[in-house]
Structure 1
Amino acid sequence: MLPALGYIFLAVILSAVTLAVSEFFFQSFIPRSVPLIYTGIAILTLGGPRILIRTFYYHYYKRKKPNVFIYGAGSTGRELAYALISGEEYHPVVILDDDYSKVGQIIFGLRVHHSSEFESLQSLYDPKKLLLAINNINKGARLRLLDKISQWPIAVQSVPSVEDIAAGKAQSTEIRDLEISDLLGREPVEPNQNLLEKNIKDKVVMVTGAGGSIGSELCRQILKQAPKRLVLFELNEYNLYAIDRELRKVIEKTKSQAELISALGSVQRQNRVEKLMFNHQVETVFHAAAYKHVPIVEDNIVEGIRNNVFGTLAAAEAAINANVKNFTLISTDKAVRPTNIMGASKRMAELVLQALADRESNTTFTMVRFGNVLGSSGSVVPLFKEQIRKGGPVTVTHPDIIRYFMLIPEAAQLVIQAGAMKHNGQVFVLDMGEPVKILDLAKRMIQLMGMSEKIADLSEESEGDIEIQFTGLRPGEKLYEELLIGNNVEGTRHPKIMTASEEKLDWSEMSKLIEQLDKHCHDFDIECIKQVLLNAPTGYLTKK
């Protein structure tokens, strides 16, 4: 509005000056007061209606938008305030900040208040949301800020991170739910660039299970390290199509020279995998293909063993025959003293690779074990969000259950770095930080989405919005997860990657167990399958 009025004022002044100059040069009889009267009338008639219409529009239409608070009076907050004032979705009424030097400033008509005034301002304006517009602080400060505002009875959203804006993934004024990393409460790990590119740059890399949560993120991280060729291997057609389409857009945008190959197939078909590796001269393999959902595998034991154990064996033998230099298995914390078939099958897959590592010398086999990743398929975060949006209840299996969590990009980067350390047959363990109590995570999400926990009692007038219900542990589920079996823990050259010596078998012993397992899977003899897992050094503990 102000620029338009400025242009009107400038045009009127110029026309008035032109009128006065014309009268002087052409000797026209025009009273000297006419240009002044003209200026006043022109400004009123041209600018006045615009001001009246703008005022009416603002007060009677714009005010129908829900009120919101903006947290942050910096450049991001200014951009957001301007965009919201001009937009159709929210009506910003107050800007909050922790910096006393900014308090009292007026930004696009909005006064900056200190964050300590939140309660009094909330009762005055009744805001529906708090929009977090702070991106220029470190992770620790952001976590402390979120701890504070999570206690406020208001839904919290944020603008994208600086990295997303710089990468063109989002606009600075785009409003979204808080990032998963904000809910996790841990700082990301800075990668070692030399390790990241060691087995990837200018090499041919293959990812099995390329369309899954971990596999697809591995592909994204690998593409950043400039491979010569990236082979995507995936059983699910749509997942392969989705990651292929995404990566081709990245290649086009970044003008990457990497060649992308997308191949359908199952890792259980050794001939298919071997021909693919041989034809494309694959040098590095990341084996992420696996069945990983505990209850599903518990109900489909034979298929779980076939895919996780025999699929790993087939892919590893294919890599040996195709002269692949590096083979990295994506394992899990559930492989440690497993109480479920999924965990036992992943530990068995580790044993298979350890035995092959002792048998072979040309292919380096490594295993990387880590806990849950936030944002993956089956993660509790999207489930909790859906349940909260529907009004609850939020379902937690047990009040004391804890899990290790890591972000998918962070996990993928550490997997790549661990696979580059060249310890044949070694199990690497990622430092997952402190374990997270699932109940605390659920409560935090409820608070940050602007609601409160509903305490179930006998009265009908119990306070709160979202109830948390405990459903009981699922078959094969543990209250807590472990990451190591042995006690001989050693560090590596990366501060967040550890290794430990664990019991293993030589190939002659392993091959006998594999033969037994194959026979029992063919016969669908579940009890015998479990017995083989119990006899192997998997640490498998069945629940009677």
Structure 2
Amino acid sequence: MKFNRKSLALMLIDMVLVNLAAFGSFYLRFEGDIPQEYFLTYYHTAWAGTLIYLIIFLLFGLYNRLWQYASISELLSIVYAVTVGTSSVVLVIYFLAPVRYPHTVAVLLWLTTMFLIGGSRFLGRILQDSVFNLHLSGIPKRILIIGAGDAGALAVRELKNSNYREGYPVGIIDDAPEKQKLKLMGIPVLGTRKDIPRVVRSRRVEEVIIAMPSASGNVIRDMTEICEKSGLVIKIIPGIYNYFSGVVDSLKIREVQIEDLLGREQVNLDIEEVAGYLTGETVLITGAGGSIGSELCRQICRFNPQRLILVGRGENSIFDIEQELRSECPGINLFTEILDVKERDKVELVFRRFKPGVVFHAAAHKHVPLMERNPEEALKNNILGTYNLAEISDAIKVNTFVLISTDKAINPTSIMGATKRVAEMIIQSFDRQSQTRFVAVRFGNVLGSRGSVIPTFKKQIAKGGPVTVTHPEMVRYFMTIPEASQLVIQAGAMAQGGEVFILDMGKPVKIVDLARDLIRLSGLEVDVDIKIEYTGIRPGEKLYEELLTAEEGTTSTKHQRIFVAKPNGIDVAEIEGLVQLIRERGSYLTREEIITELAEVVPGFQQLPEKTEMGRAFR
């Protein structure tokens, strides 16, 4: 090994300590009065021990460790090294010493060497954890940790390892009766959640860290409400899971977000099944710069595709995701294509150049009110674009084609929803006569996506309000972007062809409740600091979204979060007629013509009246 100054200094210290241990073992054995005949044995022990211990310590790697982060593994290495070293010294002295080597001296030699060597190594760690260190770094924030489990231990360790620069843990809260009045890494458990106000006052707590990654949204909401009443800064350790193994592998303490209050469960992927159709394959993603498209890119990179083709119409968003992936996934062979899925010739050119084996079609116009005002664009992008992609995928024999759909396609009352339902029908019609496995994945809103209510609410809160909600009873299904993307990938692995997969969206959430939660998470009070105003349902919107038509029903799959809708009858001739009409007259179709044509193809499509339930008219 190469010796640096620190290693050489440790070796010199060890030489002194080994000699002290040798002297101490004889001194203690003979109670301070070492007989004359044992002086030669002591000398042999001292010089032989110095040489032997240093060699053993080198072999056990005691000079190439960062002792300020010493843990159980470092302690065990000291125990093994001292035990082997002591045994070797005693064996050598047994043959060299003129008198019998006392057994008690051998035991004392092991104990004193262990104490001195171990103490010297752990002294830095002991000082780091001492109260003295608190004064060196000033008076830190006083932190209360909620959760005395693995995440709580991670939080305490992280604060200690940073020399308490981020704050000092003064106590822990946990509802488990068996943990009360115990200590976690020296930090006491001070009570249950009902004791939080008392502990905050008595311990002068300034910040709370919620360390319960597996807790439900209701529990997190309960904790945040209790802490908000005490005026505390609230942070959380989210569910940080290894993508492949599903175990906690890192610590990220951050502010509480709306996703934490929903309490969505972690997605478990069948890694072998997913890798079987993505690893070593050429994967093409349309809408790769969007919320879902970009997350699909991030997740798919982990399965080492041979090539990843990023397709999108917006150059800035494609540039951003390309730069991110080149930085985070340098081994992935990336290509970018700026194209509009409505332009069939360019689509065919790209597909024939790269010959993708898997296609994820995430490009779409999704904003309901905008598409009500621009129905011809929804028609061209969502229907004609999907048809172009499906037709060319069939021609070049793509293995798997996955369409990203929406719950608004069910019994649609909006132009956007109806066009996405037609897109589902298109891929099902192609699947009937194609070698390509065409499937659709249908789910509701994703938190934080472009055009979702969360960014809008945040901007309104930042401006001082009011926060605008369309209707007090408006509810929607929500899931996180990574959750949706991972389930889409899993559904693609399960594809046999022709399925419309339905993702488990959990319980619907009132939009007004989301608004109230976001106001509170911003440290403000509803209707005091920020008011909520109701503006009326917008054109095309429904109070409640659905995931299935009455005729579809579902069947379960082997994945507990994914279901399959039973297929409905599809009139291929009607679909192809609509596509041809869009190609010929797309931009020139009137709103009335578009509604008429969609109503003929999509069963159940019915535009809501322009008068809303809130009494406002939209023109």
TM range (shorter): 0.7 to 0.9
Q: Distance in 2 between matches of 1:401 and 1:524?
A: 32
Q: Which amino acid aligns with 1:507?
A: V
2:399 alignment counterpart: 325
2:606 alignment counterpart: 541
Q: Distance in 2 between matches of 1:365 and 1:124?
A: 62
Q: 1:313 aligns with which of 384, 387, 399?
A: 387
1:384 alignment counterpart: 457
2:573 alignment counterpart: 508
Q: Conserved in 2, the CA contact under 8 Å of 1:183 and 1:441?
A: no
Please state how far the C-alpha of 1:423 moved relative to its aligned partner: 3.6
Q: Distance in 2 between matches of 1:495 and 1:522?
A: 43
Work out whether 1:113 is the aligned partner of 2:193: no
Work out whether 1:217 is the aligned partner of 2:290: no
Q: 2:436 aligns with which of 335, 340, 363?
A: 363
Please state how far the C-alpha of 1:200 moved relative to its aligned partner: 1.4
1:461 alignment counterpart: none
Q: What are the residue-to-residue correspondences of 1:118-133 with 2, within 5 Å? A: 118-123=196-201, 127-133=205-211
Q: Conserved in 1, the CA contact under 8 Å of 2:362 and 2:403?
A: yes
> Secondary structure in 2 aligned to 1:262?
strand
Q: What are the residue-to-residue correspondences of 1:73-222 with 2, within 5 Å? A: 74-82=152-160, 86-87=164-165, 94-98=171-175, 112-115=189-192, 116-123=194-201, 127-135=205-213, 139=214, 141=215, 143=217, 145-152=219-226, 153=229, 154-159=232-237, 161-163=239-241, 175-222=253-300
Work out whether 1:246 is the aligned partner of 2:311: no
Work out whether 1:436 is the aligned partner of 2:509: yes
Q: Which amino acid aligns with 1:498?
A: F
2:561 alignment counterpart: 496
2:55 alignment counterpart: none
2:45 alignment counterpart: none
Q: Distance in 1 between matches of 2:592 and 2:529?
A: 46
Q: Conserved in 2, the CA contact under 8 Å of 1:62 and 1:91?
A: no
Which one is further off, 281-290 or 183-192?
Answer: 183-192
Work out whether 1:394 is the aligned partner of 2:467: yes
Gaps spanning 5+ residues in structure 2: where? Answer: 1-12, 21-130, 610-619
Q: Conserved in 1, the CA contact under 8 Å of 2:267 and 2:486?
A: no
Q: 1:232 aligns with which of 281, 293, 310?
A: 310
1:261 alignment counterpart: 335
Q: Distance in 2 between matches of 1:166 and 1:417?
A: 13
Q: Distance in 2 between matches of 1:166 and 1:501?
A: 31
1:450-473 Cα shifts (integer Å, max 9, x gaps): 44433xxxxxxxxx4433222221
Q: Does the C-alpha gap of structure 1 residues 425 and 144 become closer, same or farther in structure 2, counting only changes over 3 Å?
A: closer
Identity of counterpart residues, as a percentage? 40
1:35 alignment counterpart: none
Q: Does the C-alpha gap of structure 1 residues 278 and 356 become closer, same or farther in structure 2, counting only changes over 3 Å?
A: same
Q: Distance in 2 between matches of 1:119 and 1:481?
A: 40
Q: Which amino acid aligns with 2:334?
A: L
Q: Select the structure with the greater relative contact order (CA < 8 A; seq sep ≥ 6).
A: 1
Q: Distance in 2 between matches of 1:312 and 1:425?
A: 15
Q: Distance in 2 between matches of 1:421 and 1:91?
A: 49
Q: Which amino acid aligns with 1:69?
A: L
> Secondary structure in 1 aligned to 2:412?
coil
CA RMSD of aligned residues (A): 3.5
Q: Conserved in 1, the CA contact under 8 Å of 2:147 and 2:212?
A: yes
Q: What are the residue-to-residue correspondences of 1:46-85 with 2, within 5 Å? A: 62=138, 68-72=143-147, 74-82=152-160
Q: Distance in 2 between matches of 1:532 and 1:245?
A: 42
Q: Does the C-alpha gap of structure 1 residues 155 and 468 become closer, same or farther in structure 2, counting only changes over 3 Å?
A: farther
Q: Does the C-alpha gap of structure 1 residues 249 and 97 become closer, same or farther in structure 2, counting only changes over 3 Å?
A: same
Q: Distance in 2 between matches of 1:289 and 1:348?
A: 15
Q: Distance in 2 between matches of 1:166 and 1:335?
A: 33
Q: Does the C-alpha gap of structure 1 residues 85 and 493 become closer, same or farther in structure 2, counting only changes over 3 Å?
A: closer
Q: Conserved in 2, the CA contact under 8 Å of 1:351 and 1:504?
A: no
Q: Does the C-alpha gap of structure 1 residues 335 and 276 become closer, same or farther in structure 2, counting only changes over 3 Å?
A: same
Q: Which amino acid aligns with 1:494?
A: H
TM-score normalised by L of structure 2? 0.68
Q: Distance in 2 between matches of 1:192 and 1:501?
A: 24
Please state how far the C-alpha of 1:166 moved relative to its aligned partner: 12
Work out whether 1:472 is the aligned partner of 2:545: no
Q: 1:353 aligns with which of 427, 448, 464?
A: 427
2:66 alignment counterpart: none
Q: Distance in 2 between matches of 1:165 and 1:333?
A: 27
Please state how far the C-alpha of 1:311 moved relative to its aligned partner: 0.8
Q: Does the C-alpha gap of structure 1 residues 445 and 94 become closer, same or farther in structure 2, counting only changes over 3 Å?
A: farther
Q: 1:427 aligns with which of 480, 500, 522?
A: 500
Larger Rg: 2
Please state how far the C-alpha of 1:160 moved relative to its aligned partner: 5.3
1:31 alignment counterpart: none
Q: Conserved in 2, the CA contact under 8 Å of 1:521 and 1:529?
A: no
